[in-house]
Structure 1
């Protein structure tokens, strides 16, 4: 089959000797340079004239059906792309009118927006970003087969999602967008579950082989929005982008936006840009402490952790409160910023947390 697919249609191949009872003929279907289907005919001997005529008739009919299916699928994709553009532009009424019976059921219920990139494209995007500025299931990940993607991870994911939706009778909207795939799928439905199971299977496979964060060309990075409706499609797209960005930085296959909202902001500080900001903000204080003229960084951390309560912070440090007041004035003088400003206190606290997480 693989060899036959590499040959332009029409093409055929025979498996087995002419006198072999397991003789099989393969005939490619379609008119494209790379057919996607084939007809397999098993016989006990070479085909006769009437049999050959019947096979050729079947090939012609199946090719016509295949080409019509491709044309219909391409038309559906164009409609889906138009519906998505309208939703993201805030034109939900127009989107619903265009969706009709094809995608109307999808817009009548809460949906999830899935944004996927190949790992190689995601790594390139993360590199550019640095220099420029799924619902859990009870099914065991080991029971989910990781399909071959033949270098097309987005196509593999699309096939998995479409197959799951077709089996359950759900509507699903898939729009290829350059190096990305955008998917609208019913919240809590089979398509979303299949996406989550696929990501879990990839995670399990990587853990079993102790691979490093996502780099393989056959792997994916996926961001999943919270449940949304047509009016909030734009917000859902932003949520999926944010989740995708976090998945990219953490070396994860899939991150849900709800996971970020329910978690802590501190893991998000493990970023080169944030680290550079924190190091720059605290550098002058660290250089002062290195001279042995006081412990301004530790004093600042104690004072901020006690919400500016002088006595409590001084007790934590084992110094007099007047000593602590003097140190905080020195912090203001060195930084040239007022600790009365809540934004300054917030930035300093995040800088301290960032460097603490890095073990500095």
Structure 2
């Protein structure tokens, strides 16, 4: 509960005995609860040069003395208008000093201008009103300083927990009564407290990404979904590790910002340490991958048990995942979480032989991770057939071939088993053989385009029908002599003898690798 002075707290203070003359219902909403910066007294006809917005003015009304010609409705209205324009929060009129009671013209003018007006009785010195406001301000400052110290202590204690970063962010959210989110070095939402605020935090993702792309420490704020969101980069200049975002319906005060500063320092240190630790872990994982390639399964197993748990039990599938460099950190964190969830289901390591590639070793329980990571990050994945660790290099080769086939289409998971079912020619279609096949068939395609014939289609259907002229003619809906004539023309254009297996096999291969698939 705030202790800053407001018109409500002053006018309800029994010791001051102030009387509000302008009913709350006739005033702007919330004006009685707005914080007061200071209480000032003056009887000048125009005190506004000495006033600041948010201040309360006290006056005894000598400027409204009828003898001085000051008690006209026009002059009073102009006086109140100047105060309202200057942002004065309220006006207090001291009675029984110059005149008894508060002038009706002043009450009417304040009602029209929406300026709160209260009466100060003779027994209440103006100094007492100012002191009451000052005391409330001092109490509030002391309370906020005490809150800051308590909040910083609670955050520091939270940082000592096993997951110190998450615990610190959660504690900050609790202390501020706001949602707190962490975006990773790529600008993706990493974690948010409370979790149900994830949708609100996502609205700040573009701004977090913008700050990170600038490449140096910065802060900003934005209005999103009816809230004010404050963002602060984490990490050293040119080595940013993420962005801290805090959202709420009101502006942050100095005490809140001091607590946030403490968390920014803790989070930056934690992310820097985490980055260093991640690099060390990745080097160790890569070393274990090299050991598995050499066939030293016992060494890889003994090290893995101490750090991550047992390696997946054979038979295992080997998978290769290719991803853009900017996604590697996020994918690695995702896989680390899956390893923690199901120890022994999978092992992964950055492939030191190929940039931006991750190798995975998976038992059957870990296989669903491949579809999940491919869907979440839109990456290509190739996976081998299950086998033992003794044929680890063979599994890697299968995964490489499957990954190459996966890259031939949309992001997804391609299995070597599917590739094997399609046959050798299907695999060749992913290599440079495709251009050779197209070049081989180009004379037929050029003739069909210039002469309006269907030699290429006829040849394709004829081979599909095991080079039987009658069946090909039936499939094409033409006479068998027409098929014979077209095949003879194809032989001349291709300069190949199609009467034997070798010539037919070469043309069939060209059709497959060039993408000229036979019709059903």
Give yes or no for the alignment of 1:331 onto 2:498: no
Consecutive unaligned residues in structure 2, runs of 5 or more: 1-142, 177-261
Matches within 5 A, 1:36-75: 39=168
Q: 1:82 aligns with which of 287, 291, 298?
A: 287
State the shift of 1:270 in Å. 7.6
On the 8 A contact 1:175/1:182 being kept in 2, the answer is yes
Change over 3 Å in CA distance of 1:231–1:22 after alignment to 2? same
CA deviation string 1:289-335 (max 9, x = no partner): 456496532432232122122333345453244x5445433322321
Partners of 1:70 and 1:252 lie apart in 2 by 28
- After superposition, give the CA deviation of every residue in 1:91-147 in whole Å (9 maximum; x if it has no partner): 42x3324532635942642222232222x46xxxxxxxxxxxxxxxxxxxxxxxxxx
More helix by proportion, 1 or 2? 1
Q: What does residue 338 of structure 2 align with?
A: 164
Is the Cα–Cα contact under 8 Å of residues 382 and 399 in structure 2 kept in the other structure? yes
Q: Contact 1:96 / 1:107 at 8 angstroms: preserved in 2? A: no
Taking the aligned partners of 1:336 and 1:81, their CA distance within structure 2 comes to 53
Match of 1:95 in 2: 297
Q: Distance in 1 between matches of 2:371 and 2:453?
A: 53
What is the CA deviation profile of residues 257-292 of structure 1, one whole-angstrom value per residue up to 9, with x for unaligned ones? Answer: 344445688987886956644432222123344564
Distance 1:110 1:275 in 2: 35
Which deviates the most, 95-104 or 251-260? 95-104
2:327 paired with 1:153:
yes
Distance 1:355 1:245, change over 3 A: closer
The whole-number CA distance in structure 1 between the counterparts of 2:453 and 2:371 is: 53
The question of whether the paired residues in 2 share the 8 Å contact of 1:153 and 1:219 is answered with: no
How does 1:87-236 map onto structure 2 within 5 Å? 87-88=292-293, 91-92=294-295, 94-100=296-302, 102=304, 105-106=310-311, 108-118=313-323, 120=324, 152-170=326-344, 172-177=346-351, 178-189=355-366, 192-200=367-375, 202=376, 219-236=378-395
Summarize the alignment of residues 241-252 of structure 1 with structure 2, pairs less than 5 Å apart.
241-252=400-411
C-alpha spacing 1:21/1:235, structure 2 compared with 1 (3 Å): same
Tell me by how many angstroms 1:233 deviates: 1.2
The aligned residue for residue 319 of structure 1 is: 479
Indicate the SS of the match to 1:182.
strand
- Indicate the residue corresponding to 1:18 in structure 2: 145
Q: 1:225 to 1:352 in 2, by over 3 A?
A: closer
> What secondary structure sits across from 1:18 in the alignment?
helix
Report if aligned partners of 1:117, 1:154 keep a CA contact under 8 Å in 2.
no
Query: Structure 1 residues 345, 18: closer, same or farther in 2, change over 3 A?
Result: farther
How many residues get paired? 271
1:257 to 407, 416, 436: 416
State the 1:185 CA deviation: 2.9
Distance in 2 (CA, whole Å) between partners of 1:291 and 1:159 is: 57
Could you say if the C-alpha distance between residues 17 and 174 of structure 1 is closer, same or farther in structure 2, counting changes exceeding 3 Å? farther
Q: Distance in 2 between matches of 1:243 and 1:338?
A: 35
The answer on whether the counterparts of 2:312 and 2:345 sit within 8 Å (CA) in structure 1 is no
**For the Cα contact (< 8 Å) 2:406–2:414, is it kept in 1?**
yes
1:310 aligns with 2:469: yes
Call closer, same or farther: CA 1:107–1:294 in 2, change over 3 Å: closer
Is contact 2:464-2:518 (8 Å) kept? no
8 Å Cα contact 1:221/1:248 also seen in 2 = yes
Alpha-carbon distance change, 73 to 96 in structure 1, aligned in 2, over 3 angstroms: farther
- Max Rg structure: 2
Judged with a 3 Å threshold, the aligned counterparts in structure 2 of structure 1 residues 100 and 281 are, in CA distance, closer, same or farther, namely same
Q: CA deviation at 1:180?
A: 1.5
Mapped partners of 2:448, 2:350: distance in 1:
55
The normalised TM-score by structure 1 is: 0.57
Shift, 1:337, TM fit: 1.9
Contact 1:79 1:99 in 2 (8 A): no
Superposed CA RMSD in Å reads 4.7
> Is contact 2:404–2:430 with CA below 8 Å preserved after alignment?
no
